C-alpha cells in the first residue's frame, strides 16, 4: 500500500455516490499514533518513509497492522515497495492487477487506496467501475483483459492453462510475467491482512463493497 496522492480526494468525490451501502466493522487491532510508538515501531515507520512511498506515509491500512509485528513489517514493506514501484510492468497494468486482487478479496482499504492511482495511471473509470461491480471489463484494452482472465482463472482453479498463460506471456515476457505473479501474491497478503484485522478507509469515505455480518 501507499500514501495517498492529492488526486485521491477528487476520485472519491466522483465515485462516492456509486458505492454500495455497507456497514463499517470496527478494527481488531489498535491504531498506533506516532507519539505512542515504541522504538521498534518507530523504526518500521521510518523505514517505510525512507522508501519509495515517501515521507507522507501514515500508519494506517496494512502499516497499522504491521506496527504490531515490526520485524515482519520490515520484510513485508520492503517487498511491497518493490512490487509497487520497481517491477517492469507499466503502472497501468500493475494497478489494474492490484484492483483485480482487491475486488476478489473485497478489500476495502486496498480499493480505496488504489482505485484513484489506477485511474491516474490510465485505467479508465468505466473499467474501474466494472471491476468494482464484479463485471468483466469488456471495454478494457487487450492487455488488461488478458491480465483479468489470468487473475480470474488463477483464483478459480489455482492454476492457469497454457492458452491463458501464453496470452499474458506474449504481452509481458518472462520477467514481467514473474513480477505479475509476485504482485498478485503480495496484494493477496495485503488483502488478507486488511480483511482479517478490519482495516477500513477513513470514516468520511463510503465502502466500495458490502460487508457481511
Q: What is the pLDDT of residues 103-134, one digit of tens each?
A: 999 999 999 999 999 999 999 999 999 999 99
Q: Which of 15-29, 64-78, 80-94, 196-210 has the lowest mean pLDDT?
A: 15-29
Q: Do 48 and 119 fall within a single domain? A: no
CA atoms within 13 A on the CB side of 184: 19
* Beta-carbon contacts of residue 6 (< 8 Å; ≥ 6 apart): none
Last-in-domain residue among 39, 70, 86: 86
Confidence at 14, pLDDT banded by 50, 70, 90: very low
Confidence of residue 4 (pLDDT cuts 50, 70, 90): low
Average pLDDT over residues 145-173: 98
The answer to whether residue 18 scores a pLDDT higher than 80 is no
Domain check: are 110 and 209 in the same one?
Answer: yes
Contact 7, 186 (CB under 8 A): no
In this structure, the answer to whether residues 57 and 133 fall within a common structural domain is no
- Overall average pLDDT of the 130-139 stretch: 98
Structural domain of 37? 29-86
Which CATH number covers residue 171? 1.20.1290.10
Distances 126 to 9, 84, 100, 121, 143 between C-alpha atoms, Å: 18, 23, 14, 14, 16
pLDDT above 90 coverage of the chain, percent: 88
- Judged against a pLDDT cut of 50, whether residue 180 lies above it is answered with yes
Regarding whether 81 and 122 lie in a shared domain, the answer is no
- Same domain, residue pair 82 and 100: no
Residue 142 placed within a domain: yes
Whether 17 has a pLDDT exceeding 50, the answer reads no
Q: Name all contacts of 132-139 with Cβ < 8 Å and 24+ positions apart.
A: 132/19, 132/103, 132/208, 132/209, 134/103
Identify the band that residue 2 occupies on the pLDDT scale cut at 50, 70 and 90: very low
Domain identity same for 155 and 67: no
Contact by Cβ (8 Å): 59, 34? yes
- Name the pLDDT band for 12 (thresholds 50, 70, 90): low
Residues 190 and 98 in one domain: yes
Amino acid at each position: 500500500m501507499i500514501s495517498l496522492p492529492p488526486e485521491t480526494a477528487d476520485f472519491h468525490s466522483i465515485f462516492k455516490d456509486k458505492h454500495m451501502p455497507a456497514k463499517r466493522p470496527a478494527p481488531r487491532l489498535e491504531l498506533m499514533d506516532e507519539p505512542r510508538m515504541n522504538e521498534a515501531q518507530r523504526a518500521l515507520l521510518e523505514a517505510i518513509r525512507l522508501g519509495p512511498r515517501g515521507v507522507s506515509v501514515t500508519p494506517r491500512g496494512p502499516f497499522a497492522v504491521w506496527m504490531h509485528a515490526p520485524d515482519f513489517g520490515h520484510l513485508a514493506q520492503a517487498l511491497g515497495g518493490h512490487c509497487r514501484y520497481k517491477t517492469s510492468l507499466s503502472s497501468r497494468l500493475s494497478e489494474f492487477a492490484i484492483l483485480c486482487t482487491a475486488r476478489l478479496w473485497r478489500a476495502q482499504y486496498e480499493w480505496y487506496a488504489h482505485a484513484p492511482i489506477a485511474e491516474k495511471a490510465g485505467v479508465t473509470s468505466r473499467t474501474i467501475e466494472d471491476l468494482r461491480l464484479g463485471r468483466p471489463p469488456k471495454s478494457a484494452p487487450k492487455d488488461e483483459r488478458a491480465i483479468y482472465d489470468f487473475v480470474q482463472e488463477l483464483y478459480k482453479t489455482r492454476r492457469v492453462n497454457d492458452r491463458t498463460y501464453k496470452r499474458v506471456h506474449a504481452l509481458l515476457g518472462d520477467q514481467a510475467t514473474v513480477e505479475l505473479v509476485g504482485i498478485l501474491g503480495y496484494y493477496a497478503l495485503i488483502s488478507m491482512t486488511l480483511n482479517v484485522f478490519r482495516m477500513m478507509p477513513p470514516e468520511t469515505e463510503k465502502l466500495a463493497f458490502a460487508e457481511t455480518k
